[in-house]
Amino acid sequence: MADLTEQPAKTKSAVAHFAQTRPLILFFLLAYAWSWTFWLIVPPFVSDNHPDVVYILLFIAGATGPTVAALLTRWLSHSDLKICPVWTGWSRVITGLMVGLACFIVVTLVAPSIATTRAPASALHWGALLHWSVYGINYSTLLGGPLNEEPGWRGFALPRLQERYGPVMATMILAPLWAAWHLPLFQIKGWSSANLWQFLLILTGVSFLMTAAANLSKFSVIVAIVLHAFFNTSSGLGNALKNGLPIRVPEMLIYTLTVFVCGTTIGLAVLRLQRTWRRAEP
């Protein structure tokens, strides 16, 4: 008679083997499954009949998908929870933050504000950036995205994709998967002013900047979290810069193309410089 305990052991062994041999596939499947389970429940709660706290809790729970997926994949494959580097040294973290923030300020704030406004750059309300209120700190600044997502996206997935395909192809793979992961949220009215293809182009430009900064910091997840948080607040900052000024139309299309072109170009340039520096090192 066959031992019934062998079946669970074989199943566990098969799952562990899959996690070891196909960690990225398992990671993306788990990330989508976890997040979409919560986010497909969200739309019925977005109404006046339900408290905002229900929507916020479901949203945040879904946003943890990438990190939960990374933890589960790592546990199944290595029986530990070491999914990403956190601190990689002062010089690397500060370099990644300084260069990354400078690039993000140009690509997601300054360039789009100038491009979408029918006024000289000097007419923008630069002084508004000195007021804390324009930064719009809320649940989406950290818990609704950066803190819950980046240990998975740039902490776990990007280094493994880059090891196999290089930084450029890794970014081209991760960007559409990152964008498509947000699909259920498009059911929520007002969640994004961009349509799906615009959202994809925006995240592609942003992804190249994230990859460049991640490499500068040796994949410190702190850098990825801070840059993602700035991106989440950049639209509010842009609105403050352009307040009351004449706007070019179609504004969203101009914004999309500006972020995509500038982000991709600057990100690739920084990656190219990094390769040049590494070759010059003795």
Q: How far apart are CA 166 and CA 65, in angstroms?
A: 25
Q: How far apart are CA 66 and CA 274, in angstroms?
A: 28
pTM, whole model, 2 decimals? 0.92
What DSSP string describes 236-277? Answer: HHHHHHHTTS-B-SSHHHHHHHHHHHHHHHHHHHHHHHHHHH
pLDDT score recorded for residue 27: 98
Residues 229 and 141: beta-carbon distance below 8 Å: yes
Phi and psi angles of residue 96, each rounded to the nearest 5 degrees, phi first: -60, -40
Q: How far apart are CA 219 and CA 95, in angstroms?
A: 12
pLDDT score recorded for residue 190: 78
In a domain, 63, yes or no: no
Print the domain residue range for 203.
85-280
pLDDT score recorded for residue 2: 47
In a domain, 217, yes or no: yes
Q: How far apart are CA 228 and CA 197, in angstroms?
A: 20
pLDDT score recorded for residue 3: 57
In a domain, 220, yes or no: yes
In a domain, 164, yes or no: yes
| Burial class of residue 168 (count of CB atoms within 10 Å of its CB; 0-12, 13-18, 19+) | middle
Q: How far apart are CA 134 and CA 155, in angstroms?
A: 29
In a domain, 42, yes or no: no
Residue for token pair 């910091």: 217
Residues 34 and 65: beta-carbon distance below 8 Å: yes
pLDDT score recorded for residue 143: 79
pLDDT score recorded for residue 89: 97
In a domain, 182, yes or no: yes
Q: How many folded domains does the chain comprise? A: 1
SS3 content of the chain, % helix, strand, coil (to 5): 75, 0, 25
Q: What is the largest CA-CA distance in the chain?
A: 84
pLDDT score recorded for residue 5: 54
Omega before 85 cis (within 30°)? no
Average confidence (pLDDT) per 10 residues, the chain, 282 residues: 55 84 97 95 64 82 97 96 96 98 98 96 93 77 88 98 98 98 89 93 98 97 97 93 96 98 98 87 63
In a domain, 270, yes or no: yes
Q: How far apart are CA 99 and CA 92, in angstroms?
A: 11
pLDDT score recorded for residue 44: 66
In a domain, 72, yes or no: no
